[in-house]
Structure 1
Amino acid sequence: MAGGGARLGRLKIGGGARWNRYARWRRGPAVLLLAVLAVLVLLTASIPPTASMDGEAAAVPALSPSSDDAPANTERDDDLALYDRIIARVADGEDYYAAAVEEQRAGDYPVRPGLAVRLPTLAILHARLGEGGLQAIAFLLLAATAWAWWRRLGAEPGGARYRNFAAALIVLGGSTILNRYYFVLHEFWTGMLIALSLGLHRPGRYWPALAVAALALALREHTLPFVLLMAAMALWRRHWREGLAWLTLTGIFALALRFHLEAVAALVLPTDPQGPPWLVLDGMRGWLSKVVLSSNLRFLPHWLAGPLAVLMVFGWSGWRSPAGSTATLLLLGYALAFMLAGRANNFYWGAVVAPLMFVGLAFVPVAATSLIRAARGR
């Protein structure tokens, strides 16, 4: 009976279930991964925020300056004020590209290369719908994303027991989208749409996910790695039609991006300086600065926020399912990209993956327990 009770206890946390990736690992690989994980946790706990990270974090208020409850002395961040001016001019009927290039030039922001000028979609939507319309969309988007992940976890092996917690984590990770202060930032909308797209996706049933991803791609080109990963995963599963659909979306976006770059280039003057490079090779600090400062992790001390970010990715890796595998590859891919590219003032890029990252915390206990047992040879 005692042995049976022990086995039952193991089953309750995942035991040797096929969806539990680390339950059947051999001792050697388990010990190696635990060592790597320990090093990453210690490393991220020891990396203090830079001065620029402190400054950016302090500049983000809890409430929008347009809110009646906002502090009277709250100042609008320079980047956000720039987007405010562009949106106001578009709302007055001006051409987006003329307004964006003129405002960026007047504010000493680069317009070269063309990607320094954002895609027009969010500014046009903001101008047409207003802040009230976006507030309603933000609530619906957050609710839809939590619902989509509640459904998806219930449909994939091992996920049903975690779906309530995971849905709550999506709300926690994505709640920044409800803050009107961020409405002009493309990455916060993009991150929620990516999370919704992956939550809606089912292998072989991809049209809702594809439509949501198309909207995210129209907002920010940083969505492209997600779209390419979805295409690669579909082709790896030999779902040729789905793979072709994701690749077709990529081709359509390439044409739209070409139009965007040509529209910007037509307004660029020979005297316009080239913007600083985005390739800065900032390593682990670059990844941490983005995913921490662009999420609710910013409210925690750095020695706790950094390890939690690592554990989020680790938790995702423990769920052996189509959703778990895709999310793990996605987060690792963006982590590498953020280590290579993005200046200190580009910290908001991390919002592209921040909402999805939080779900990984739901799987940390079972993943860690299984990995430790495997390392002990049990």
Structure 2
Amino acid sequence: MTALLLLLIASAIVPLKRPVDRPNAAISQNVGAASAAVQDDEDIALYEAVIRKIEAGQHYYDFIADEHRLRRFPVTPGFAVRLPSLAYIEAGLNKLHLGVPMSIAIMLATVAAWWRRFSEEPGIGRLHRLATAMAFVGASLAVNAHYYALHELWAGMLLMLSFGLHRPGTAEQPGRWGAALLCAALALFIREHSLPFVLLMGAIAGWRRQWQEAAAWIALVVAFLAALALHLHIVSGLTLPTDPHGESWLAFRGLSGWLGNIVQSGNLRLLPHWLAGPLAVLTMLGWAGWRSPAGTFAFLISVGYGFAFMIAGRWDNFYWGAMIAPMLTAGLIFAPRALRSLVTAAGPGEQARKAIAR
């Protein structure tokens, strides 16, 4: 309980945006926010330009390196160049004027999938409707048109949909995972940051001895790695000796990296710093306190990505948090229950029982 309290206090204090050395703290926060926004807009401008060129009939690998150089974006390492999947998808959607309708459809499908999953999971009771409402708060990020060109937005929503559609199997009955696999596969080929989600799905399937499902997730990983290797090979052939090397993603920002990514890339960004940081922590606590397959998976995925954000990703990579921020929001509904359990466990009665047992 003491560790949680210290973590909540720290989450309300640590920077969630790029720190700037200025004498006035308020000015520093504003400058940091503006810096992140500028980088964000530059990324979006690049991706939108790529989509327009594909709409005009150009081939992705014929122009992508020059487009990066024009905007002073790195071409090396090859991971700095996005996979072409989303650019072709969005170009096709734009030609049919289906970009906005598709984002709305994904949001509604996600909320519906989570409604059904919450109704089938054990131990939720009357929290069913509230949990779905909070899932809607997270999923509503899908209709933020400013970020339509960002790969993390679409990949994160597809992962949230995959999570809602997935039904883990038991020793007596196989699960339902085909639709979840397809959604996660599309997310993975849009953004490679989806790989931890896929690996965790496969690991849990194996732990439950659902060998057919585990094999399907493994096959997806193998197919993706082959496609990624081909992409990196093509990009390496486009590089020039004069191309600058991209900055390292190993930034070791600690708690600021974890909470900053989650808050800035989700709807918690609309809240003041002192409240948004602790709420991001409580989402993880809530999932940990809900003893169900969904709760266990959400807790593990939040811890895994949280740890990754603590060591990797610069301040201008905050939008990586959109990979999981939408799906974590519903965990807040279970936080009060988890807090009550912690208080009870730390209470005098529990301590007395432990003393007697010893």
Q: TM-score, normalised by structure 1?
A: 0.84
Letter in 1 for 2:80: A
Uncovered stretches (5+) of structure 2, i.e. residues with no partner: 21-28, 169-174, 351-358
Q: Which of 74, 89, 111 does residue 125 from structure 1 map onto?
A: 89
1:189 corresponds to: 154
1:114 aligns with 2:82: no
Task: Return the alpha-carbon distance in structure 1 between the equivalents of residues 36 and 138 of structure 2.
Answer: 16
Contact 2:39-2:316 within 8 A present in 1 as well: no
Task: Return the alpha-carbon distance in structure 2 between the equivalents of residues 263 and 40 of structure 1.
Answer: 45
Q: Which of 276, 301, 304 does residue 275 from structure 2 map onto?
A: 304
Deviates more, 1:272-281 or 1:339-348: 272-281
Task: Return the alpha-carbon distance in structure 1 between the equivalents of residues 324 and 222 of structure 2.
Answer: 23
Aligned-residue Cα RMSD (Å) equals 1.9
1:142 aligns with 2:107: yes
Task: Return the alpha-carbon distance in structure 1 between the equivalents of residues 39 and 297 of structure 2.
Answer: 40
Task: Return the alpha-carbon distance in structure 2 between the equivalents of residues 325 and 57 of structure 1.
Answer: 34
Contact 1:292-1:298 within 8 A present in 2 as well: yes
Task: Return the alpha-carbon distance in structure 1 between the equivalents of residues 145 and 156 of structure 2.
Answer: 16
Letter in 2 for 1:43: A
1:9 corresponds to: none
1:157 corresponds to: 122
Contact 1:235-1:243 within 8 A present in 2 as well: yes
1:93 corresponds to: 57
Letter in 2 for 1:278: W
| CA offset digits 1:2-32 (Å, max 9, x no partner) | xxxxxxxxxxxxxxxxxxxxxxxxxxxxxxx
Secondary structure (helix, strand or coil) at the match of 1:149 reads: helix
Letter in 1 for 2:2: A
Secondary structure (helix, strand or coil) at the match of 1:282 reads: coil
Task: Return the alpha-carbon distance in structure 1 between the equivalents of residues 113 and 330 of structure 2.
Answer: 13
1:40 corresponds to: 7
| CA offset digits 1:12-71 (Å, max 9, x no partner) | xxxxxxxxxxxxxxxxxxxxxx1111111000111134347745645899xxxxxxxxxx
Contact 2:36-2:315 within 8 A present in 1 as well: no
Identical positions, percent: 49
2:346 corresponds to: 375
Q: By how many angstroms is 1:270 displaced? A: 1.6
Write the mapping of 1:165-244 to structure 2, written as runs, cut at 5 A: 165-203=130-168, 204-244=175-215
2:334 corresponds to: 363
Task: Return the alpha-carbon distance in structure 2 between the equivalents of residues 60 and 115 of structure 1.
Answer: 21
Letter in 1 for 2:251: V
- Identify the structure with bigger relative contact order (alpha carbons < 8 Å, sequence gap 6+): 1
Q: By how many angstroms is 1:99 displaced? A: 2.2
Q: TM-score, normalised by structure 2?
A: 0.89
Q: How many residues align?
A: 333
